[in-house]
Amino acid sequence: MKKVLFVVMAIATIAFAGCDMDDENQRKITNLTGQTWYDTYIWFQADAEPGSTISGFEQKGTIGVGESCIVSTSDNYFHVSFDNAFGDMEMSKILPFSGSSTTVKADNLY
């Protein structure tokens, strides 16, 4: 019985080994703006200069206050656009990724 349990544990370890956030391009963005984001887009940029080229985006749907989303990018900067509860579009300033996790606060919004 112990051998069977060992084999099952070994297979589970191998199967779930790829589920870590070890990938350096995986970044977590947390919504701390005080409002729910509807129809959310995360836009990626290589630098923080206004008018610099957007290299890509990910659509993330609805992200509640305190909730996070995971994006995959090698860029160092991003901004968020979303619809608020009234259906008005809002946007964040261009923000840097700080390691693998970062937050967007109310004072980061235009």
Q: What is the CATH number of the domain that holds 89?
A: 2.60.40.2890
Query: What pLDDT shows up at residue 8?
Result: 53
Q: What distance in Å separates the CA atoms of residue 42 and residue 54, rounded to the nearest whole number?
A: 11
Residue pointed to by tokens 């919004």: 109
Residue pointed to by tokens 């809002």: 90
Is 34 domain-assigned? yes
Per-residue pLDDT for the chain (110 aa), expressed as one digit of tens each?
555 545 555 555 544 444 444 577 899 999 999 999 999 999 999 999 878 899 999 999 999 999 999 999 999 999 999 999 999 999 999 999 988 999 999 999 99
Is 66 domain-assigned? yes
Is 41 domain-assigned? yes
Domain that holds residue 42: 23-108
Q: What distance in Å separates the CA atoms of residue 74 and residue 97, rounded to the nearest whole number?
A: 10
What secondary structure letter does DSSP report for 34? S
Q: What distance in Å separates the CA atoms of residue 101 and residue 49, rounded to the nearest whole number?
A: 22
Query: What pLDDT shows up at residue 72?
Result: 96
- CA–centroid distance for 23 within its chain: 13
Query: What pLDDT shows up at residue 45?
Result: 94
Query: What pLDDT shows up at residue 24?
Result: 75
Is 76 domain-assigned? yes
Based on the structure, what is the number of domains in the chain? 1
Report the predicted TM-score, pTM, of the whole model to 2 decimal places: 0.76
